[in-house]
Amino acid sequence: METTTERRRLFATEKVGGRAVYRVQAATVAAGILLVLYYRATRVPAAGEGRAAWLGMAAAELWFAAYWVITQSVRWCPVRRRTFKNRLAERYEENLPGVDIYVCTADPYAEPPSLVISTILSVMAYNYPSEKISVYLSDDGGSILTFYGLWEASMFAKKWLPFCRRYNIEPRSPAAYFSESEGHHNLCSPKEWSLIKNLYEEMRERIDSAVMSGKIPEEIKLKHKGFEEWNSEMTSKNHQPIVQVLIDGKSQNAVDDDGNVLPTLIRVSSVISDSPVILNVDCDMYSNNSDSIRDALCFFLDEEMGQKIGFVQYPQIFNNMTQNDIYGNSFNVSYHVEMCGLDSVGGCLYIGTGCFHRREILCGRIFSKDYKENWNRGIKERGKQNINEIEEKAKSLVTCTYEHRTQWGNDIGVKYGFPAEDIITGLAIHCRGWESAFINPKRAAFLGLAPSTLAQNILQHKRWSEGNLTIFLSKYCSFLFGHGKIKLQLQMGYCICGLWAANSLPTLYYVVIPSLGLVKGTPLFPQITSPWATPFIYVFCVKTLYGLYEALLSGDTLKGWWNGQRMWMVKSITSYLYGFIDTIRKCLGMSKMSFEVTAKVSSHDEAKRYEQEILEFGSSSPEYVIIATVALLNFVCLVGGLSQIMAGVWNMPWNVFLPQAILCGMIVIINMPIYEAMFLRKDNGRIPTAVTLASIGFVMLAFLILIDGKSQNAVDDDGNVLPSLVYMAREKRPQYHHNFKSGAMNALVCFLTLFSFTLKQG
C-alpha cells in the first residue's frame, strides 16, 4: 500500500541493482591495472632492445587506465526514473502549462520537407490540449520549399489530428504510421484509414515534386500571403528575416474537422507564445510517444523535487538500425548505464534533441530555492495582439543585428562558439545550480534516422569528437568550469565524451606496434607462463566480459556487441584521429584538415547492403586507407610473426610472443569484413582497388623500415651490421608534373627526414 509521500510524488527514482557485484569487479580490475602499470615501470628494457616501443605501450596503458577510471564515475550508483501520469492528470489537468516546440532545419535537399513535416505533424498531435501547444519551425536556409511543405502540413493537420485522437494511434508521424503494418487500420474503418493515407500520400507527392522542380506552382502562392516574402534575389545565405503564422490558435479557422483548436504553428522561434516549457527536437526525430509531454511534466510539476529540475532529457533512438547494429549507432550502453549514472550525481547530459527545458534556464536563470515558476505564463496573453503585429514584432527578433553585442549565446540561450553546443549548454545549466532528469520509457519518445553508411558514421563522430575535445581544452572544461559547482562524478562524466578524440593515439599505437613487434622479435608483454601475465589477462578478460554483460543487458545482441567493438576501433583510428588533429591544429591557429566524403553508389544499393549488414565503403577516402592499412598490417604481421616463431628465428621460447600473437589475431578476426571488402566483394560498396593498393604500399613500407640496422637478422655472415636498405617509388599521375630528378631528390629528403628519425628512436 502506498504511503502518503508516494501518492504525492509524480515520479519515482529507483536505484539499479547489481552494484555489489559491479564494485567487486571494479576493485579487482583497478588492482590489476595498478599491477600492469607497475610491471611496465619496473621492467623497462635496455636501449636498443625495444625501449621506445615499451615506453609507448606504458603510455598507452596509462591513458587507458585513466580513461577507465573516468568511465567508472557513471557506473557506481545509476538510477532509473518512473513517472505517474495519472497523478499528474488528477492534480493538474485543468492547469497544464503551455509548451513551445522548436524544430530546426537548414536545407530542403539534405533534410527534405516531407521528412520535416512528418516530425511537425507528430508533435502537433501530442496527447495534450492543443490550445497549449505552439510549434516553431526554424529554417536557416530560408527556403520557400520548406515553407510550402509547412503550408501543406497546416492543411493536412485538420484531418490528421482528429484521426490520431479518435483512434489513439501510435506513432503520430504519418510517414512512420503508414509505413508500418497495415494491420493498424483495424482500429478504424478501412475506408477512413485509406482516405487519410491517400490524403497524406498526395500531399507528400506534391511536396516532393516541388522540391525536385525547385519551384512552387503559381496558383499555390496565391493561397497564403507568406509566399510574397520570397523573390528571385534571395539565397540560403542571404535573405531577410521571415516570420509567418500559418495557424493562429485564436483564429476562428484554427480548428480541425472535429472542432478542436489546432496548435499555433510558427516558422521561426520567437516570443510569441512565451510558454514556460520548451521542447527542442531535430527535424528527423519524430514523436513516437504521444504522452512524452506529460511524462516530462511529471518532473517539472512534482511538488517535492520538481523545483530543482531544469531540463528532462529523452534518449536519441533510431528506427532504421539493423538487427545487429552494423555501425554501432544504438548507444544502448550509454542510455541504459552511463546516462542513468549521471542522473544520480546531478543530472544527465543535454544531447541537443528530445529535451524539455524550462524557458527560464535558457534565459540564464540561476537556481534559487525561493524562485516560483509561473506555469500559466503565456496562456492568458495569447490572442490579445493582431497576428500581423505579432509577425512584424517577431521579425525584429531574428535579424542579424538583434544579438550583436548582447549576452545571447553566452549567458543567455544556447552557447555559441563550439561545435558541440548542446553539451556546453547543459554544463552551463548544471553549473548554475539546476539538476536534470533522464527518462527512457518502454515506448521510445522519439525516433529518427541513424547513419546508414560507414562514411556518414565516421563523419558524424568526427564532428562530435572534435567538438567535445574543443570544450575539454577550453575554459569550459568540466574540471575547471564545474569546479565547486557540480559534483566530481558529474565533472568526470562530461569527460567521457570530451576525451573520445584523445583515445585515438593510444588506440592506434596499440593496434599497430605490438603487431610490428611480433614480426621484429620485440616482446612487449610478459611471458605467458610468468606470474606477471596474470594481471594483463585478468584485466583484459574481466573488462571484456563485463562490457559484454552491460551490452546484452542494455538490449544489444552478441553480434551487435562484436560489431560495436569493431566500430570503436574504426572510429578511434579515423573519426577520433581526425577530430584530435583538427582540434590541435585549431588550437595552434592552423587551418583545419579537409574531410570530404563522396558517395559513389546509389542510395538504393546502399540501403540494400545496409539491410543485409554489409559494410559500405565505395569511395577512395583517406580514412578508408587507414582502416585497410591497419587491417592488412595485422594480418601480415600475424602470418609473418607465427612463421618466424615456428622457425625459431628469434632464439626465444615461443610463449614469449604468445600475448602479442593473441592480440594480433583478435584484431585480424575483428577485421574480417574489411578483408572481404578488400579482396572478395564485387559490389560497388567494396573497398576500391586504389585504397587496397595504397594500403599494401603502406604495409610494405612498414616492413621495409623494419629491415634496418636495429634488426637482429640485419647482419652479414661475419656478424657485422648491414646498411639500411629501403626502396621508394613516388606516386605518378599523368595530370601532375613530377619535376624529374629534382622532384625525386626532394621526395627523398622529405622521406629520409622521417626515416632517419625512426631509426634513431630504435
pTM of the model: 0.84
Average pLDDT of span 319-327 = 92
In this prediction, residue 739 carries a pLDDT of 54
How does residue 245 score in pLDDT terms, banded at 50, 70 and 90?
low
Cell representation of residue 411: 549567458
Domain coordinates in residue numbering, the chain: 19-73+500-727, 728-762
Quick check: 590 pLDDT over 70? yes
| Distance between CA atoms of residues 665 and 663, nearest Å | 5
In this prediction, residue 551 carries a pLDDT of 95
Active-site annotation holder among 140, 274, 605, 683? 140
Quick check: 172 pLDDT over 50? yes
In this prediction, residue 225 carries a pLDDT of 75
Percent residues over pLDDT 70 in the chain: 79
Three-class DSSP category at 188: coil
> Which of 482, 472, 478 lies closest to 433 in space, CA to CA?
482
- In this structure, how many other beta carbons lie within 10 angstroms of the beta carbon of residue 741? 8
How does residue 217 score in pLDDT terms, banded at 50, 70 and 90?
confident
> Which of 118, 61, 125 lies closest to 293 in space, CA to CA?
125
In this prediction, residue 494 carries a pLDDT of 95
In this prediction, residue 250 carries a pLDDT of 47
Quick check: 270 pLDDT over 80? no
In this prediction, residue 736 carries a pLDDT of 55
Active-site annotation holder among 295, 325, 422, 582? 422
Quick check: 266 pLDDT over 50? no
In this prediction, residue 107 carries a pLDDT of 82
Average pLDDT of span 614-622 = 88
Average pLDDT score over the chain: 83
How does residue 99 score in pLDDT terms, banded at 50, 70 and 90?
very high
Catalytic residue flag (residue 302): no
pLDDT one-digit tens code per residue, 49-72: 889 999 999 999 999 999 999 999
In this prediction, residue 493 carries a pLDDT of 95
Average pLDDT of span 506-528 = 93
Residue 82 half-sphere exposure toward CB, CA atoms < 13 A: 6
Please state, in angstroms and as integers, the Cα–Cα distance from residue 737 to each residue in 340, 690, 745, 749, 751, following that order: 59, 20, 15, 18, 19
In this prediction, residue 214 carries a pLDDT of 84
pLDDT one-digit tens code per residue, 379-421: 555 555 566 666 666 665 655 566 666 666 677 777 777 778 8
Average pLDDT of span 457-475 = 92
Quick check: 506 pLDDT over 90? yes
Cell representation of residue 547: 562490457
Quick check: 574 pLDDT over 60? yes
Average pLDDT of span 592-597 = 45
140 is in an annotated binding site: yes
294, 127 Cβ separation under 8 angstroms:
yes
Highest mean pLDDT among 233-242, 608-617, 645-654: 608-617
In this prediction, residue 252 carries a pLDDT of 46
In this prediction, residue 707 carries a pLDDT of 57
Please state, in angstroms and as integers, the Cα–Cα distance from residue 394 to each residue in 243, 389, 391, 412, 696, following that order: 7, 9, 5, 18, 60
Pairing relationship of beta strands 355-358 and 277-282 according to DSSP bridges = antiparallel
In this prediction, residue 156 carries a pLDDT of 92
pLDDT one-digit tens code per residue, 687-715: 999 999 999 999 988 887 765 544 445 55
pLDDT one-digit tens code per residue, 272-285: 677 899 999 998 99
Average pLDDT of span 468-494 = 94
Quick check: 475 pLDDT over 60? yes
pLDDT one-digit tens code per residue, 737-762: 545 545 555 555 454 444 444 444 44
**H-only helix segments in 658-718:** 658-670, 672-675, 689-706
Average pLDDT of span 307-312 = 95
109, 142 Cβ separation under 8 angstroms:
no
- Which stretches does DSSP call E strand in 408-473? 435-438, 446-448
Cell representation of residue 96: 497544464
Angle, helices 504-520/51-72, rounded to nearest 10 degrees: 140
Catalytic residue flag (residue 140): yes
